[in-house]
Structure 1
Amino acid sequence: MDNNQVKILLQRYRLGLCTEEEIGAIEQWYNDLVNNNDVKLPSRELAQLDEEIKAVVFEAVKNEKEQLTPVNKKINYLRYAAAILALASIGALLFFLLPRKNLDDNMSNRAVAAIDALPGGDKAILTLGNGTTISLDSAKNGFLAEQGATNILKVNTGQIAYSANAGDQEPALSNTVTTPKAGQYSIILPDGTKVWLNASSSLQFPSKFDGLQRRVTLTGEGYFEVQHDDQKPFIVQANTTEIHDLGTAFNINAYNDEPTLQVTLVEGSANVKTGVAELILEPGTAATVKNNQMSKETADVTTALAWKNGIFQFNKASLESVMRQIARWYDLDIEYQATSNQLFSGSIYRNSKASEIFKILEENDNNIHFTINEKKIIVHK
């Protein structure tokens, strides 16, 4: 478990957002650990978490009667701190060891008040070459459709996959997968390339790649793990920018309502072209495009890929940037009655209710508040 995951649970605990299962498991681990004389405090790897962990420990002790009920009522501050730190260091924090399905079901089955909003999920529409549409989230596993001699399947993982028959002479047909607000989906393209689409995104691609290039068109945001082929380059068109695969895994954020288009390279290399500008990316670098001008910088890969890993992660983000992400994932519109110059940082799971995220944002700036009115977020003082 990485430090970012540790921070999320500590943040949920401090804000009183843990479920009964989470609290119960923390209690059990606490009682086990305080009776273990071999527990040792970690050093370097938890240095950056030190201040946050201390805050959790002291608040937990302060509110112990309300939030925790250890077997031993006489709490020793040092042993309590040792237990919490040990939990972080050995990766035994509850949220990531309890079966996720049970927690997710618990979240989704709760009654949602009118002042809250549930997160998105796996939703998408597949549009075939003849204009026929298929709702992928409600479709059953197995055969979905045929495009020429290519079969489209929904596999057990929930992805759709394309399987071309040997000797297929049928012309390729254009297919499009579109995710709505509050939707995401993953696709296995005819060449084996894997694509994850974020909310409010689309990917247009042929039912088979039979030319000299493999070309697809992206709107919104997508993460690509490309099946490399030296003889048939893979090209993603996103607005006026082209990304040429050179053996690559990369993320493209190309939402029209974002001020920039950003390509973040994870593995391999990629050639990025826009207008007359062109550059090569190496792992851990990013290309940012604005007004047909392009720059290259060190990438914040963890933040760029957070959505794919089921996390909202904000790293000195403006309120407007944060709200655009929230609006897409919860299918909400935004009304600004106030704004903030504060830059927001923090992480929280995307399966959280909207109110939990707003609670964290209000901790960053207590002069700003959020109200959900049907399908609208009102930002106000």
Structure 2
Amino acid sequence: MTDDKRHINWDLIVRHLMDVATGEEREEVERWLAENEGNGEYYRKAKRYFETYYTGKETRVVDCKGAWNEFVVYADKSRETHIWRAIVKYAAILLFPLCVGFGYWFLENDESQTTFVSEDISIEPGTTKAVLVFNSGQQVKLTDSIAFGQAIEKFKPSGQIDEAVEYNKIIVPRGGEYNLVLADGTSVMINSDSKLNVPDRFEGKERRVRLEGEALFHVARDVEHPFIVETVGGDVTVLGTVFNVNAYSDEDYVQTTLVEGSVAFQGKGMADAKTISPGEQITYDLQTNGINVERVNTDIFTAWTEGKWIIEGMRLDEIMKQLARWYDITVFYQNPEAKELVFTGDLEKYNKCNVILDIISLTTNVEFELKERVIIVKMK
């Protein structure tokens, strides 16, 4: 099959299949079909899947937050060896008088490989939520309507002395995320299953917080008072910048990705700090104390703060870790070799987990079974 099929607007094919194309649109599709056999083969596959999943009682509707025009997934045993390639197409289709849904079909692999996640179980995406734990042990739930600063003032224990700087803890559970502004104006977006220890105000020569998990920092510039993020593996020191820190307790590394400004990282096993520039990422190995600095696409590591995941050459087990934290689920591998599959593509973070799993299942040789909040991963 040639790549000529990509030279036509996908919407035209959908409209042609739905029999709602204009005369001019029909002529364009017919000309495209006449160009080569590859286009005809592509169209026939589209028609077969369209009839299977979009017409009559057999139609399966996925109520997505949005529809992607194209989702490309590569599943490899390594980044160098290409094994599978598939393209999943989405289109908005009016299926019932009172229901507009988004659906998808798989065009590149044999239809016998199509497997859907059970529709009886629906796993919703995470939400904005956190718990503020005061130094005294008092706990307050944080939501959209309660800002961090307001909570500090409103719920501060009566016995707490105003003159003393108190460190409090923000806990973002699995299935949650939370955005807060610190006393100095620094903005922090905290990811699922993360903890951030912060003071009610900053005093002294430095501004220091402690992170376990992942967070994106927009640090308010103050050359006289460096901002320091403590992690299990070392400290990240900045004056004013934008950077992402990944320091989950179940990982064997600490990773800092710099978007703007300048940061210096010093691991606990490092004699000197290492400074990186915008567009660079430093990864510190907790086992060997080794470091690796490389240039990266920072969007990949900050997209989670904007409602999506940009995945490039990521192993399935790493993807499933992210899903487990965000959807508050447990993952079990019936076939351990499935962990080694590598994917590339964009995923909408606020879709239901079922939709994400269906995409992966439709585009590679892996399938999922849901039992309550446990996902069983197995090869087809």
Calculate the TM-score normalised by the size of structure 2: 0.68
Paired residues for 1:86-165 under 5 Å: 113-137=119-143, 140=146, 144-146=150-152, 151=153
Tell me the secondary structure at the aligned position of residue 360 of structure 1.
Answer: helix
Q: Which residue of 1 aligns with 2:345?
A: 346
In the TM superposition, residue 64 of structure 1 has moved relative to its aligned partner by 3.8
Distance 2:230 2:329 in 1: 28
Moved more, 275-284 or 196-205: 275-284
Q: Check whether the contact 1:116–1:372 (CA below 8 A) recurs between aligned residues.
A: no
Q: 1:140 to 1:279 in 2, by over 3 A?
A: closer
Distance 1:119 1:310 in 2: 11
Distance 2:139 2:22 in 1: 58
Report whether the alignment pairs 1:180 with 2:131: no
Moved more, 338-347 or 326-335: 338-347
In the TM superposition, residue 309 of structure 1 has moved relative to its aligned partner by 1.2
Q: 1:125 to 1:271 in 2, by over 3 A?
A: same
Q: Which residue of 2 aligns with 1:191?
A: 184
Q: Which residue of 2 aligns with 1:326?
A: 323
Tell me the secondary structure at the aligned position of residue 304 of structure 2.
Answer: coil
In the TM superposition, residue 115 of structure 1 has moved relative to its aligned partner by 2.6
Q: 1:60 to 1:321 in 2, by over 3 A?
A: farther
Aligned AA for 2:343?
F
* Paired residues, number: 288
Q: Give unmatched runs, 5+ long, in structure 1.
A: 1-49, 82-93, 97-105, 154-161, 163-167
Distance 1:206 1:70 in 2: 62
Report whether the alignment pairs 1:310 with 2:307: yes
Aligned AA for 1:279?
K
Aligned AA for 1:185?
Y
Q: 1:55 to 1:342 in 2, by over 3 A?
A: farther
Aligned AA for 2:184?
D
Report whether the alignment pairs 1:212 with 2:211: no
Calculate the TM-score normalised by the size of structure 1: 0.68
Distance 2:297 2:273 in 1: 21
Larger relative contact order (Cα-Cα within 8 Å, sequence gap ≥ 6): 2
Q: Give unmatched runs, 5+ long, in structure 2.
A: 34-65, 69-99, 102-117
Distance 1:177 1:329 in 2: 17
Aligned AA for 1:335?
F
Q: Which residue of 2 aligns with 1:362?
A: 361
Q: Check whether the contact 1:242–1:272 (CA below 8 A) recurs between aligned residues.
A: yes
Q: Check whether the contact 1:182–1:199 (CA below 8 A) recurs between aligned residues.
A: yes
Structure with bigger gyration radius: 2
Distance 1:264 1:324 in 2: 19
Cα-Cα RMSD: 3.3
Aligned AA for 1:200?
D
Alignment partner of 1:233 out of 223, 226, 238: 226
